[in-house]
């Protein structure tokens, strides 16, 4: 009997939220699940976005049979424009997801040559030794799927991002009966979404938001401006439906919201049976309580329509007293202060503002603790790996698994790069491959390393001082006084004397050192230390100090 060995390797999505990517490898076949990006943390100064390190995949490029995408959110598709040109394999997804991937690839000029294949929810595809079945799950974007992956070692279930909304707005609840069938067979491994593992209970249904919107559209004395994620198509549908019910026309504002709405209408994911959607030029003459807007800006993005409106900086739209603004979204971690500032500005403009803290105007797309336990109980996996979460989410999810009877040592709380090897009887971590953050900053991918970031951090704190020392090449003598250029350190006018004094200090340091400019390393260290000490004494600040010698 040959040894059956399935490897499951997270390349992203564990310990850090975002840049989701899971690798499954069996003999000469590899499939990749999701290829997401992460938005940079505060400490990643100047970085545009973060994608997974795929050096492992590049080494085994010829084995890769395809990339499977569970749904169309950035943290599942966003790395494709950067990775696809390097890997050059087919991408499998549902139809809406494919549409969103095309848009993304086009934006980044990576669409040419991409092989995008549609698999419907409930459909399947065979990739080498893997047979992958797509099952519908309910999430905050239509056409989301989880995966049932039939492998020679056993069945692996990947939940995708999911919640168990029994009354979803787009009519497609998570397929619990298919999962229950699987539970009756043997499932080797479950990979399940941990994003909201901290939250007790159930995530409320999307219908709840519909009820809140219904009251708002009915009662608001003036216009209603709803902002949400462009991809949250079911939410846009609810705005259209409740607006229609209360005789309001709906106007879409903002480029990405317009693009997505148009695409969703064309593909049939969004419906406007009462023809309430209008063009902005039809606005004229409508009474205010017959008007609703849908717009981007739910994360306080500085260039979004809502933020421009809040700052009276939008060409067509500004707040009128009596307007009601609904932020139908929650904050992606890190965006809180931008969002708060936007809400404050809207209040200052005289709007009534409703947001998730003060009214039930948003539900998120991930299951809470009871839903996670239900999935575990239905699927009854032999082994369990919590995915999609920070370490605390994974740990708490592991605790939930234990509470429903999965032994603690059958659960694997891993970090990105850990290699889990399974056969039908056992599972263990057998190694670790390189898996980390690859930074995208401007045009280049991966050139920003820890040195550049450390420098940016240092510069951001106390600024910098460049010391320019001109030296006669022949004599080794100093020419004139050293020059000092500083930025971000002190107010150069107020601190003129202090800066002048530091120039003199450099002169004295150079004199005293008695070294020739050939010993530049020594001199520059000396100058740096002396100024560091002096500036710290004077200001309690530590600017970056860069001595530079010009030999003439």
List the catalytic residues: 193, 366
281 versus 521: smaller Cβ distance to its own copies: 521
Alpha-carbon distance 320 to 349, whole Å? 8
Q: How far is the CB of 221 from its own copies (least distance, A)?
A: 14
- In the complex, least distance from residue 6 CB atom to its own copies, rounded to whole angstroms: 26
Give the residues lining the site for its own copies (CB under 8 A).
Answer: 15, 41-42, 45-46, 198-200, 333-334, 336-337, 340, 343-345, 347-348, 353, 357-358, 390-392, 395-396, 441-444, 447-449, 451-453, 455-464, 466, 468, 470, 479-480, 483, 485, 487-491, 494-495, 538-541, 544, 546, 548, 550, 552
Q: Evaluate whether 7 touches 130 at the Cβ level (below 8 Å).
A: no
**H or E stretch covering 392:** helix 391-403
Residue 16 in tokens: 């850090």
DSSP 343-368: HHHHHHTT-EEE-TTTSS----SS--
Closer CB to its own copies, 392 or 512, in the complex: 392
Of 347 and 423, which CB lies nearer to its own copies in the complex structure? 347
Q: What is the DSSP string of 193-261?
A: E-TTTTS-S-PPPHHHHHHHHHHHHHH-SS-EEEE--TT-HHHHHHHHHHHHHTT-EEEEESHHHHHHH
The smaller minimum CB distance to its own copies, of residues 156 and 353, is found at 353
Q: CA-to-CA distance for 249 and 543, rounded, in angstroms? A: 57
Q: Kindly state the smallest distance separating residue 15's Cβ from its own copies, in Å.
A: 7
SS3 145: strand
Nearest to its own copies of 509, 539 (CB atom): 539
How many residues can be counted in the chain? 552
Q: How far is the CB of 43 from its own copies (least distance, A)?
A: 8
* 8 Å CB contact between 496 and 505: no
Closest CA to 226 of 338, 362, 71, 122: 362
Q: How far is the CB of 87 from its own copies (least distance, A)?
A: 23
The first and second tokens of residue 513, run together, are: 């050192």
Cβ proximity to its own copies: between 335 and 377 the closer is 335
Instruction: Identify the sign of the CA torsion 301, 316, 263, 355.
Output: positive
> Least distance in Å: CB of 253 to its own copies?
22
Instruction: Say how many Å lie between the first and final Cα of the chain, rounded.
Output: 77
User: Residues near 358 by Cβ (< 8 Å), separated by ≥ 6?
Assistant: none
**Which of 152/488 has CB closer to its own copies?**
488
What minimum distance in Å lies between the beta carbon of 22 and its own copies?
A: 20
CA distance 142 to 416: 28
């Amino acid at each position: 009997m040959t040894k059956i060995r399935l490897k499951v390797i997270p390349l992203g999505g564990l310990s850090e939220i975002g840049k989701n990517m899971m690798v499954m490898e069996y003999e000469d076949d590899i499939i990749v699940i999701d290829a997401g990006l992460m938005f940079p943390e505060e400490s990643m100064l100047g970085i545009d976005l973060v994608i997974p390190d795929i050096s492992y995949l590049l080494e085994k490029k010829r084995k890769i049979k395809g990339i499977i995408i569970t749904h169309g959110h950035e943290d599942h598709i966003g790395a494709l424009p950067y990775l696809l040109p390097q890997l050059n394999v087919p991408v499998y997804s549902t139809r809406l997801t494919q549409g969103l991937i095309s848009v993304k690839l086009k934006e980044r000029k990576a669409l040419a040559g991409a092989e995008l294949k549609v698999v419907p929810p409930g459909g399947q595809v065979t990739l080498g030794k893997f047979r992958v079945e797509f099952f519908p799950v309910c999430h905050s974007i239509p056409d989301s799927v989880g995966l049932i992956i039939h492998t020679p070692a056993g069945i692996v279930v990947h939940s995708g991002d999911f919640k168990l909304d029994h009354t979803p707005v787009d009519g497609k609840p998570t397929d619990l009966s298919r999962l229950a069938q699987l539970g009756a067979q043997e499932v080797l491994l479950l990979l399940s979404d941990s994003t909201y593992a901290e939250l007790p209970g159930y995530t409320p249904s999307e219908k709840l938001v519909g009820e809140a919107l219904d009251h708002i559209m009915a009662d608001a004395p003036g216009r209603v401006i709803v902002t949400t994620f462009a991809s949250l198509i079911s939410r846009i549908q609810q705005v259209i439906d409740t607006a229609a019910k209360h005789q309001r026309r709906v106007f879409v504002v903002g480029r990405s919201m317009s693009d997505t709405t148009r695409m969703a209408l064309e593909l049939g994911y969004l419906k406007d049976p009462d023809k309430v959607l209008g063009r902005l030029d039809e606005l004229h003459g409508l009474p205010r309580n017959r008007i609703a807007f849908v717009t981007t800006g739910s994360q306080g993005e500085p260039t979004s329509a809502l933020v421009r409106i809040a700052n009276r900086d939008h060409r067509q739209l500004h707040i009128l007293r009596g307007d009601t603004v609904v932020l139908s979204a929650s904050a992606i971690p890190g965006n809180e202060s931008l969002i708060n500032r936007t809400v404050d500005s809207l209040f200052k403009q005289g709007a009534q503002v409703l947001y998730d803290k003060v009214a039930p105007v948003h539900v998120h797309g991930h299951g809470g603790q009871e839903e996670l336990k239900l999935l575990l109980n239905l699927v009854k996996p032999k082994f369990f790996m919590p995915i999609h979460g920070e370490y605390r989410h994974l740990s708490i999810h592991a605790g939930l698994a234990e509470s429903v009877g999965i032994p603690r040592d059958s659960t694997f709380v891993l970090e990105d790069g850990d290699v889990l090897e399974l056969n039908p009887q056992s599972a263990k971590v057998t190694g670790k491959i390189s898996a980390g953050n690859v930074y995208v900053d401007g045009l280049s991918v991966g050139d920003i390393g820890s040195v550049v970031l450390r420098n940016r951090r240092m510069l951001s704190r106390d600024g910098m001082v460049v010391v320019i020392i001109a030296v006669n090449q022949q004599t080794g003598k100093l020419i004139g006084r050293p020059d000092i250029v500083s930025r971000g350190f002190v107010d150069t006018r107020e601190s003129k004397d202090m800066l002048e004094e530091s120039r003199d200090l450099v002169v004295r340091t150079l004199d005293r050192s008695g070294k020739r400019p050939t010993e530049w390393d020594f001199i520059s260290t000396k100058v740096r230390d002396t100024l560091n000490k002096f500036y710290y004494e004077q200001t309690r600040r530590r600017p970056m100090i860069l001595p530079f010698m010009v030999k003439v």
